[in-house]
Amino acid sequence: MDFKVLAYDKQTKARCGEIQIAGRTISTPVFMPVGTQGTVKTITPEYLGRTGTKVILCNAYHLCLRPGEGLIKQIGGLHKFIGWDGAIITDSGGYQVFSLAGLIKTTDEGVEFQSPIDGSKLFLTPQKMTRIQNDIGADIIMAFDECVPYPCEREMASVAVKRTLNWAEQCKGSHKNERQALFGIVQGSVFKELRIECAQRLVEMDFDGYAIGGLSVGEGAHPMNEALDYTVDYLPQDRPRYLMGVGFPSDILDAVERGVDMFDCVVPTRNGRNGCAFTGNGKVKILNSQYREDIRPIDETCGCYTCSNFSRAYLRHLFLAHEILGLTLMSLHNIWYYQNMMQRVRESIVRGEFKAFKKDFLLGMVE
């Protein structure tokens, strides 16, 4: 993997760059739609590609439970399995183990839990999750971390940071697929010294990139931005920085301003499936009766397939009639919206005018 910063914003820490990996080029800051189980929900890879999406996030935890990393490897790797020729990053599943699985027992060695699919007992270790991700074959893989809930006692957060660092070292030691980049994950909840310690120790281990995990878990925008303010300063300029699971458009702009390069979030697809579309003039909740006879597209300035072909009235009809096409069309629009926003983010950074762009963009959102 190669990462170059191509431009710095004049007034903020925002930067615009390029990740080269496995013959693919990804312009940063980048938004990565979420395809947890090997599909960005309701959307074909072809339509996804047309939104400008260059990289998606899949989840090694979900994929090792089903269909199993062995099957994916045997079939020729995740890209081939899911029919996606863009880049892929897999999360190691630290977050999912803690938020989704039952009966967890965490030790310094790893995590024991029950499969939510068949109830069988599983034991995941840093070595095993690295091997699993090697087999799955994404372009970028993540270290196995311990993600604490919010709020969290300092002592508990501190133990989790130590374990995360220990596990990060083990992941690096057992990483066997040199075509894959490996990112470390900074934990530490909202405790400044823990975050800084974690960042510094990870940087000493020399990862291909650095993720910031355990944020956007309920702490709110202010503590998150504060954590980014001090954490990013301890991460090297020449490696990509990835804020995991974030977020709403305003969260992403806040984080770009603080020097973050990569984002993933279920919001565009989940909100789309719930009938909520993003536009330059605020949200369109498609079931609202005001759209009953509205012949306009969701967003008249949008070039997506949905806005090029369908009215709000039709989308509303699809949702009322419980027709799946509605979920597809709304998700597609929202991903386009996010990718269009990121394109404009990158252009504004190149012009050195990110701050002005952000202000304008946020004004439009609440109009």
In 3D space, the residue among 221, 151, 224 whose CA is nearest the CA of residue 186 turns out to be 224
Minimal distance in Å, beta carbon 63 to its own copies? 9
What is the per-residue DSSP string for 255-303? HHHTT--EEEESHHHHHHHTTEE--TTS-EETTSGGGTT--S-S-TT--
Q: Answer yes or no whether residue 292 interacts with its own copies by CB under 8 A.
A: yes
Minimal distance in Å, beta carbon 285 to its own copies? 17
Q: Answer yes or no whether residue 52 interacts with its own copies by CB under 8 A.
A: no
* Residue range at the interface with its own copies (CB under 8 A); choices 194-202, 237-245, 249-257, 318-326: 318-326
Do 116 and 102 meet the contact criterion of CB atoms below 8 Å apart? yes
> Which residues from 251-290 bind its own copies, rule CB under 8 A?
none
Contact map string, positions 64 to 83, toward its own copies, x by CB under 8 A: --xx---x--xxx----xxx
Q: In whole angstroms, what is the distance from residue 303 CA to residue 85 CA?
A: 23
Contact map string, positions 327 to 356, toward its own copies, x by CB under 8 A: xxx---------------------------
Alpha carbon separation from 46 to 30, 52, 63, 151, 365 (Å, rounded): 19, 11, 22, 41, 29
**Cis peptide, bond prior to residue 68, ω within 30 of zero:** no
Task: Look at the chain and count its residues.
Answer: 367
Whichever of 211 and 315 has its CB closer to its own copies, that residue is 315
- Residue among 9, 254, 261, 264 flagged as catalytic: 264
Q: Answer yes or no whether residue 311 interacts with its own copies by CB under 8 A.
A: yes
Q: Answer yes or no whether residue 137 interacts with its own copies by CB under 8 A.
A: no
Choose, by CB under 8 A, the member of 7, 22, 27, 37 that binds its own copies: 37
Minimal distance in Å, beta carbon 84 to its own copies? 9
Minimal distance in Å, beta carbon 322 to its own copies? 9
Q: Answer yes or no whether residue 245 interacts with its own copies by CB under 8 A.
A: no
Q: Answer yes or no whether residue 41 interacts with its own copies by CB under 8 A.
A: yes
Whichever of 39 and 177 has its CB closer to its own copies, that residue is 39
- Residue among 91, 254, 261, 299 flagged as catalytic: 91
Give the dihedral of Cα atoms 268, 221, 237, 16; nearest 10 deg.
40
Residue 199 makes CB contacts below 8 A (sequence gap 6+) with 186, 210, 231, 234, 235
DSSP 148: P
Q: In whole angstroms, what is the distance from residue 248 CA to residue 232 CA?
A: 20
Whichever of 107 and 309 has its CB closer to its own copies, that residue is 309
Q: Answer yes or no whether residue 59 interacts with its own copies by CB under 8 A.
A: no
Whichever of 293 and 300 has its CB closer to its own copies, that residue is 293
118 is catalytic: no
* Residue range at the interface with its own copies (CB under 8 A); choices 135-143, 215-223, 224-232, 317-325: 317-325
Choose, by CB under 8 A, the member of 2, 233, 293, 300 that binds its own copies: 293
Q: Answer yes or no whether residue 118 interacts with its own copies by CB under 8 A.
A: no
Backbone angle region of 248, left / alpha / beta, with phi > 0 → left and psi within -120 to 50 → alpha = beta
Please give the structure tokens belonging to residue 199: 């960042």
**Torsion sign (Cα): 22, 23, 28, 34:** negative
3-state class percentages of the chain: helix first, strand second, coil last, to nearest 5: 45, 20, 35
Choose, by CB under 8 A, the member of 8, 12, 27, 39 that binds its own copies: 39
DSSP 147: P
145 is catalytic: no
Do 56 and 107 meet the contact criterion of CB atoms below 8 Å apart? no
Minimal distance in Å, beta carbon 87 to its own copies? 17
Choose, by CB under 8 A, the member of 248, 325, 344, 360 that binds its own copies: 325
Q: In whole angstroms, what is the distance from residue 231 CA to residue 226 CA?
A: 9
Give the dihedral of Cα atoms 175, 29, 300, 39; nearest 10 deg.
0
Residues belonging to the active site: 91, 264
Q: Which residues bind its own copies (CB under 8 A)?
A: 37-39, 41-47, 66-67, 71, 74-76, 81-83, 292-293, 295, 305, 309-311, 313-314, 316-318, 320-321, 323-325, 327-329
